Amino acid sequence: MVRKVLAPVVLVLVLAAFLAGCGRSQKAVPPVAPAPAEDAVAEKAPGTQTVEALASGARAEAEAGPGLERVYASLEAVQERKVVRNAELVLEVASVDEAVKELEREAAQLGGLVAQAELDRYDARTRAHLELHVPADKLETFLAWAAGLGEVKSQRVYSDDVTEEYIDLEARVKTLTAQEERLTELLAKAETVEDILKVEKELERVRAERESLAGKFNYLRHRVTYSRVSIQVKQSQEAEPVPPAQGFKGLGARTAKAFLSGWNALQNLIAGIVLVFASLLTWIPLLAVIAFLGWRLWLRRGRKGKA
């Protein structure tokens, strides 16, 4: 009876002692403090960028240019449009020579220049073609003044808005100029021969492209600043010289002159005939040989026919 009561108690005590021993045998593992994090890539100090990186960056920026978005943003900011204005004019004047001199003088006084001047004379008439460059803001003044030289037969003024092209070229030139300056500074800092050659090659490319675009930009700026005026100057019919009537004045001298002209023509005709005959004499021997051979051949065929 007593054993039956104590058996469960002893079993419980044994289990409790076993669980307590297991708890003491386990040791707590202290948490490990994380090591201080290090940057995966060390930050480069200023001035340590390679020559290749700088050169390729300059190339990328130069090739990219200002971009359409930048150009359109600049267009919105521009207050003054860039417009090329030209004109064509046809004038009839009493004296072409005097009109040409006046046109050239007036263009010079306005600050322009003569780009081209042609003068033709035929059938007692004179015609000239001028190409003048005058300041664009004085184009109307010049045309109004030129109309006073004679009668305006036709006049045409036309314009072309080049604002977008103007801003694009200007921005590209500025970008390439900045790249050229950066590459020049980089060339001064290059130490190895390889770096120097790479920078010089890139600098030459950027400089050549900048000079090419600068030439286009300067030409476009000149077209905007100066208007091209093409002028045809003709002599009016009323001003054409009319030969005066001579009547019987100098009739004897004119008759003698006409007789001499006819005699000279007759002499030239006779001389021409003699020269033709003389040139034919050189062919007479050859023609004689051909005629003789033909005659003998004809005789031979005649004898064979009779036989």
Looking at residue 41, the DSSP 8-state letter turns out to be S
Dump pLDDT digits (tens) for 2-33. Answer: 445 445 555 555 555 555 554 444 444 444 44
* Mean pLDDT calculated for residue range 281-301: 83
First-last CA distance in the chain: 183
Share above pLDDT 90 across residues of the chain, in percent, rounded to a whole number: 42
Which of 70-79, 121-130, 224-233 shows the highest mean pLDDT?
224-233
Confidence label for 57 from pLDDT (cuts 50, 70 and 90): low
* Mean pLDDT calculated for residue range 279-295: 82
Distance of CA 271 to the CA centre of its chain: 61
Q: How far apart are CA 240 and CA 134, in angstroms?
A: 31
Query: Within a 13 Å sphere around the CA of 2, how many CA atoms are in the beta-carbon half?
Result: 0
Which residues have CB under 8 Å from 235's CB, separation 6+?
92, 93, 94, 95, 96, 125, 126, 127
* Mean pLDDT calculated for residue range 269-281: 84
Q: How high is the mean pLDDT of the chain?
A: 78
Dump pLDDT digits (tens) for 111-160. Answer: 999 999 998 887 777 899 999 999 999 999 999 999 999 999 999 999 99
Confidence label for 43 from pLDDT (cuts 50, 70 and 90): very low
Question: What does pTM read for this prediction?
Answer: 0.53
Q: What pLDDT score was predicted for residue 32?
A: 44
Q: What pLDDT score was predicted for residue 191?
A: 87
Largest CA distance in the chain: 190
Find the DSSP H helices in 78-192: 96-109, 139-147, 163-189
Sheet order of strands, 151-161 included:
113-122, 125-135, 226-235, 83-93, 151-161
Place of tokens 């202290």: 30
Confidence label for 221 from pLDDT (cuts 50, 70 and 90): very high
Q: What pLDDT score was predicted for residue 125?
A: 79
Residue 161, φ and ψ in degrees, nearest 5: -80, 115
Q: How far apart are CA 214 and CA 282, in angstroms?
A: 72
Q: How far apart are CA 103 and CA 90, in angstroms?
A: 13
Residue with the larger pLDDT of the pair 41 and 273:
273
